[in-house]
Structure 1
């Protein structure tokens, strides 16, 4: 996707085009673009929040998970709890 296409997609999303938002979330998730996902989540995209939780969990990014949990994401809180429980387990 070119920079111009991405800019156009962002403009469509800003104007309420749900399909554009969905495309941006998918592209940002594929690229691992946390900044884009945060921007979309802050604009109200629950799909962006879900993608952020997944990426942060995979990266064991507890700071991001805490931020998301503090903003009300129960999924982020659950992943944090799972990570903490995993850290407490004794090695076999």
Structure 2
């Protein structure tokens, strides 16, 4: 089992440290899928990192998806990016 798989297993079992580490690693890798999975699982930290990473990558579709689900921070970032 890879280190990443082990972290995912621990996170799924409720280990907050593992969740935090996954968020950090996914942000560093620009892994929107991992961040989305964690955010959809209820992690507000992952949602924040997802917005930050999507903004850095110019991933407007991801920001739109979040904004449509009622995330105001994503809506604000989307508005900023589309104004430019």
After TM superposition, the score normalised by the length of structure 1 is 0.84
> Aligned-pair distance for 1:85?
1.9
> Aligned-pair distance for 1:61?
1.6
1:89: which partner in 2? none
Deviates more, 1:48-57 or 1:19-28: 48-57
After the TM superposition, list the runs of 4 or more consecutive aligned residues in structure 1 that deviate by more than 2 angstroms.
none
Count of residue correspondences: 84
Looking at structure 1, the residues matched to 57 and 23 of structure 2 have their Cα atoms a distance apart, in angstroms, of 18
Looking at structure 2, the residues matched to 41 and 75 of structure 1 have their Cα atoms a distance apart, in angstroms, of 14
1:49 to 47, 50, 54: 47
CA RMSD of aligned residues (A): 1.1
Structure index of larger Rg: 1
Structure 2 runs not aligned, ≥5 long:
none
1:69: which partner in 2? 67
1:8: which partner in 2? 6
List per-residue Cα deviations over 1:28-87 (Å, max 9, x = no partner): 00011111111111111111111111111122221110001112211100001111222x
After TM superposition, the score normalised by the length of structure 2 is 0.91
